[in-house]
Amino acid sequence: MFSRILALFRRRALDRDLDEELRSHLEMAAEENRKRGMSHEEARRRAMRDFGGVTQVRETVRMREGVPFVENLRRDVAYALRQMGRAPGFAAVVIITLALGIGANTTVFSIVDAVMLRPLPYAQPQRLVEAQSSGMGSFSAEDVSYPDFFDWRRQNRSFERLVSYHDASFTLTGVERAVHLNGQVVSWDLLPLLGVSPELGRGFRPEEEKRGSRVVLISHALWVSQFGSDASVVGRTIHLSGDAYTIAGVMPASFRFPVVEPKTSFWTTLAMDDDANDHHPAVGNRGMHFLNVIGRLKPGVTVARADADMKAMAAALAKQYPDSNTGHDSAEVQSELTALLGDTRMLLMVVLGAVALVLLIACGNVANLLLARAREREREMAMRSALGANRGRIVRQLLVESVTLGIAGGVAGCALAFLVTPAVLRLIGESVPRAADAGVNLPVLAFALLVSLVSGVLFGLVPAVTAAKADLLSTLKEGGRGDIGGHHRLGSLVIVGQVALGIVLTAVAGLLMTSFVKLTHKDEGFNPNQVLMFNFETPDSRYMKTRPAFYREYFERLRALPGVQSAAGSMLPPMTDNAAELSFENPEHPVPEGQQSNATVDAISPEYFHTMQIPLLMGRDFNDGDDLKSTQVMIVNQAFAEKYFHGENPLGKKLKPGAGNGTPGGPPWREIVGVVGNIRASATQREMQPMQYLPASQLALWCCMRTVMRTTVDPMSLEPQVRNLVSSMDRDIPVTDVSTMRDLMGLELAQPRFAMILLGAFAGLALVLTVVGLYGVMAYSVARRTREIGVRLALGAQRGTVLKMVLRDAAVLVGVGMAIGIAATLASASVLQSMLYGTASRNPLVLGGVCGVVAFAGLVAAYVPAMRAAGIDPMRALRAE
């Protein structure tokens, strides 16, 4: 082989050799002719004649002298293209089928590539990990407290650097119009950890973690929008929520941290959490778990080793500080990308699997088309093998044809992906991290090419091998009409496989649809219609004392606006992806500190239940009389009452939730004054959680309640009035996050919705392809059996019998495929469990429905050919032979 490749380069030398050899042959022949007494001229002519075509021989030898593989491939491709040109309808059907399959795969892969495969935009991202706290107990305890973080940072042996971060939001004042900004509070060495530098200025210094330090790094976008891209901005003082901060630097436009929060406008150091005015600053409070931690592994340290290291440290800390750390006695280290993706990985794998099945079905259709065509071309193939083409050559020729088709389909598929991707991205929205970066790029195109090649071989192999096995003699003898059962059996097998795959896909789509319907039609526990929500801050620097008065006046004026039915405040309203849990002491079940029960908490204003239309089941709502001087009170929901009071009347009972009201002596005992109905805190929450409600007016730190407002008009139409009202009370407070409750719920449902729509589309595509495939196979089988059916009819068979016979053939195929599909679905559906709500993964109703749909589709596909079979005119059918 090597010498043949060399031959390509030594072509000239070889040509010379060949020419010389042929010349010497002709001269020898001429000389012998002359010896036999011919004239000079005659001898030459005779030699040429005996030789045959010199040019032809030279070309033949030259062709074979090169790499025969390359030469043959070129010829095979040219031949394949001619074949496609000769049957444009066939080629078009194949290419469209493949374009659908490959296009869908390419689109999904471009998203998978952007979300899962592309490395994080930092230096050596494979060494970045996320460290989380974890522990026993019923609540998730992923977040870390500052003292724990400081201990981790000091004691660990696995990390080069360990950095804490949490989100914070501030109001930027002193600019043209106050703006609300989202930022991150981080350890000083975030940038060295990520391996990123600012585009202007410098990063943080270690001493800037110290109390009183106030520095920020601002995002490129903020620099452009608020500071006019002024390079002298470094060193300038800006005001964030009333405090003065010095700008240390500007980050590059490409910088994103955290990756999932592209709208982060600034980063400041954890000195912000060390407030001199606060008796219990967050940096010294081991019980306040609210930090995320990212780390860079030392070279050579594995995630598993770091995980073991952290677990040991967390266990030691829990022993050392049982009061605060009993529920945080372990830790978990995951690669940063894994932590980032969470459940999304599963979702994407399911979508990718589904779309691969669609491609398999498409390949099945093409394989059947090629099988049918291979039969029509049997004579051609038999001729070629009679003329000396060996079987390997024929198989290769057919494979080249199918791969050529595959690549043509792939090109069309890429074009389709290019068109469809933006629409799919819109559908996904922000529900999948990093999906917005998806696009058709080089790796994606490489993937599409690979898929095209693989599918070309996949659907081409079966017909090619069959063709090579074709019985030469019988084919030629029967004029290409010999019946070769193998073809038919293969085609049937393909159909059975397609039906089985179709069942699996449709069942998955059916389950996701059922789940989504359940999600959207379930009772949230409150009325989400006609509700507007928005947010603004009342910074401590100015509102520490006057906050209650401010809110009282604010709510009075808000409720007076035309179109407003009622309004209230809530720190952690549902559908905002914000939730907090608070431990509480129960005198009837005393437990050691650190092992108390936790329940979701919300701090609210009076009228919240009325505004949300959450039913008050017992007792009373909070009112303006509940202040620091009166009895300290709380309200619980039904789930809470059931779980902790087991059917007893909870009214009048006292609990001590771990939230202080600012008075000395720590958190007070609170009397339960009311029981309300359960609500779902998020649209995808599976079970109703126990909840405790505390009156904001009896809490020390209750800075920022979101406003919840029930309107009699279109909620969004009140936005200008709301903004005017707030800015008339304080022009430095911007209103943010204005949206309706319905929209917020829609956002929470975005992931299940997009999973359902994509899978639904794939299942639909799969069904259509299967029906077309079944139709094709049945129609072809009827066409081939025209003579047989004609004979049957001529011998007196009823048309109804013929109809039934064809339908029965189809029913057998569909039935077998269905049985396999049901078995496969039952075996694999549990994978879906984490994506389903309100339905089991083995839902007999869904499976039954799916079978019904597929059976009906199969019947429709078989009916037309069956009617055609029954309508055959026996005379014509027999005469045609």
Partner 1 sequence: MGEDKSDVLQGTLDLMVLKTLETMGPQHGYGIARRIEQISEQALRLNQGTIYPALLRLRQRGWIRADWGTSENGRRARYYSLTKTGKAQIEKETESWERVAATMARFLTVQ
Comparison of 67 and 729: residue with beta carbon closer to partner 1: 67
For the beta carbon of residue 786, count every other beta carbon within 10 angstroms.
19
- For the bound state, the minimum distance from the C-beta of residue 481 to partner 1, rounded and expressed in Å, comes to 23
Name the segment binding partner 1 (CB under 8 A); options: 29-37, 145-153, 485-493, 576-584: 29-37
Tell which one of 304, 387, 442, 795 touches partner 1 (CB under 8 A).
387
Q: Smallest distance from the beta carbon of 79 to partner 1, in angstroms? A: 7
In the complex, least distance from residue 19 CB atom to partner 1, rounded to whole angstroms: 11
Q: Which of 622, 602, 639, 538 is nearest to 180 (CA)?
A: 538
Member of 5, 6, 13, 28 binding partner 1 (CB under 8 A):
28
**Closest distance to partner 1 from the beta carbon of 380 (Å):** 10
Q: Which whole-number Å values give the CA distances from 762 to 107, 114, 368, in the listed order? A: 12, 21, 21
Q: Rounded to whole angstroms, how far apart are CA atoms 881 and 877? A: 7
Separation CA 215–CA 202 (nearest Å): 11
CB-CB contact of 770 with 362 (8 Å): no
Contact call for residues 143 and 304 (beta carbons, < 8 A)? no
Shortest Å distance, C-beta 68 to partner 1: 8
**Residue 29 near partner 1 by CB under 8 A:** yes
Of 27 and 553, which CB lies nearer to partner 1 in the complex structure?
27
603 binds partner 1 (CB under 8 A): no
The stretch near partner 1 (CB under 8 A) out of 27-35, 362-370, 683-691, 722-730 is 27-35
Segment near partner 1 (CB under 8 A); pick from 28-36, 490-498, 598-606, 855-863: 28-36
- Among the candidate windows 18-26, 138-146, 370-378, 707-715, which touches partner 1 by CB under 8 A? 18-26
Output the six-digit token pair for 798.
């009823």
Please pick, from the candidates 10, 15, 25, 345, the single residue that binds partner 1 as defined by CB under 8 A.
25
Give the residue with the Cβ less far from partner 1, 22 or 628: 22
Q: Quick one: 218 exposed, middle or buried, by C-beta within 10 A (0-12, 13-18, 19+)?
A: buried
Q: Provide CB contacts within 8 A for 356, sequence distance 6+.
A: 105
CB-wise, 332 or 380, nearer to partner 1?
A: 380
For the CB of residue 21, give the shortest distance to partner 1 in the complex, in Å.
5
Among 11, 16, 20, 845, binds partner 1 (CB under 8 A): 20
785 φ/ψ angles, rounded to the nearest 5 degrees: -95, 15
- How many CB atoms are located within 10 Å of the residue 109 CB? 25
Q: 71 or 332, CB closer to partner 1?
A: 71
Does residue 378 bind partner 1 (CB under 8 A)? Answer: no
Task: Answer whether the bond into residue 258 is a cis peptide, omega within 30°.
Answer: yes
Q: In terms of C-beta distances under 8 Å and separation of at least 24 residues, what long-range contacts does 840-847 make, across chains too? A: 841/511, 843/510, 843/511, 843/514, 845/514, 846/507, 846/510, 846/511, 846/514, 847/507, 847/510, 847/822
The residue from 19, 21, 261, 627 that contacts partner 1 (CB under 8 A) is 21
In the shown chain, the binding pattern of residues 460 to 479 toward partner 1, with x for contact by CB under 8 A and - for none, equals --------------------
Count residues binding partner 1 (CB under 8 A).
31
CA 599 to chain centre: 32
The interface region with partner 1, picked from 91-99, 239-247, 386-394, 451-459 by CB under 8 A, is: 386-394
- Looking at the Cβ atoms of 51 and 669, the one nearer to partner 1 is 51
- What is the C-alpha radius of gyration for the chain, rounded to an integer number of angstroms? 38
Calculate ∠ Cα 486-489-494, nearest 5°.
125
| 398 closest CA partner among 461, 449, 450, 455 | 461
Binders of partner 1 among residues 551 to 580 (CB under 8 A) are none
**Nearest residue (CB) to partner 1, 64 versus 280:** 64
Does the protein bind partner 1 through residue 749 (CB under 8 A)?
no
Provide, for the chain, the percentages of residues in helix, strand and coil under a 3-state DSSP scheme, each rounded to the nearest 5.
55, 15, 30
Q: Report how far apart, in Å, the C-alpha atoms of 496 and of each of 100, 372, 455, 486, 781 are.
A: 21, 17, 18, 15, 15
Residue 210 makes contact with partner 1 by CB under 8 A? no
For partner 1, the closer of residues 54 and 824 by Cβ is 54
Site for partner 1 in 50-89 (CB under 8 A): 50-54, 56-57, 60-61, 64-65, 68, 75, 79
Q: Minimal CA–CA distance to 409: which of 437, 448, 351?
A: 448
Q: How far is the CB of 16 from partner 1 (least distance, A)?
A: 12
Strand partners, 511: none
Determine if 17 is a binding residue for partner 1 (CB under 8 A).
Answer: yes
Minimum CB–partner distance for residue 41 and partner 1 (Å): 19
Give the Å distances, CA to CA, from 479 to 179, 378, 540, 778, 850.
84, 9, 95, 23, 44
3-class DSSP state for residue 675? strand
For position 833 contacting partner 1 by CB under 8 A, the verdict is no
Residue where the block lists tokens 């650190």:
594
Choices 260-268, 385-393, 563-571, 580-588 (CB under 8 A): range interacting with partner 1:
385-393
Measured distance CA(833)–CA(367) in Å, rounded:
34
Under the binding rule (CB under 8 A), the answer on residue 19 touching partner 1 is no
Among 13, 16, 24, 40, binds partner 1 (CB under 8 A): 24
Q: How far is the CB of 403 from partner 1 (least distance, A)?
A: 18
Bridge pairing between strands 597-604 and 691-695: parallel
Minimal distance in Å, beta carbon 92 to partner 1?
24
Of residues 60 and 717, the one with the C-beta less far from partner 1 = 60
For 91, the enclosing helix (H) or strand (E) is helix 88-112
Q: State in angstroms the smallest separation of the CB of 457 from partner 1.
A: 22
Residue type, 101: G
Task: Please count the other Cβ atoms lying within 10 Å of the Cβ belonging to residue 498.
Answer: 31
**Interaction between residue 389 and partner 1 (CB under 8 A):** yes
Piece of 44-52, 233-241, 408-416, 596-604 that binds partner 1 (CB under 8 A) = 44-52
Residue 508 token pair: 């998955």
The Cα–Cα gap between 563 and 1 comes to: 85
Q: Which stretch binds partner 1 (CB under 8 A): 13-21, 185-193, 458-466, 738-746?
A: 13-21
The residue from 5, 16, 19, 31 that contacts partner 1 (CB under 8 A) is 31
The DSSP-derived string for 303-368 is HHHHHHHHHHHHHHHHHH-HHHHGGG-EEEEEEHHHHHHTTHHHHHHHHHHHHHHHHHHHHHHHHH
Q: Please report whether residue 592 would count as binding partner 1 according to CB under 8 A.
A: no
The CB-of-774 to partner 1 minimum distance in angstroms stands at 35
Asked if 411 interacts with partner 1 (CB under 8 A), we say: no
* Residue 74: CB minimum distance to partner 1, A: 12
Question: What gap in Å lies between CA 533 and CA 541, rounded to an integer?
Answer: 25
217-225, 316-324, 380-388, 541-549 -> range binding partner 1 (CB under 8 A): 380-388
305 is a site residue for partner 1 (CB under 8 A)? no
Q: Does 206 participate in binding partner 1 (rule CB under 8 A)? A: no
Of 25-33, 401-409, 525-533, 846-854: span binding partner 1 (CB under 8 A): 25-33
Q: Which of 34, 298, 384, 481 binds partner 1 (CB under 8 A)?
A: 384
Residue 533 contacts residue 567 (beta carbons within 8 Å): no
Mapped onto helix, strand or coil, the DSSP state of residue 605 is coil
Which spans of this chain sit near partner 1 (rule: CB under 8 A)? 4, 17-18, 20-22, 24-25, 27-29, 31-32, 50-54, 56-57, 60-61, 64-65, 68, 75, 79, 384, 387-389
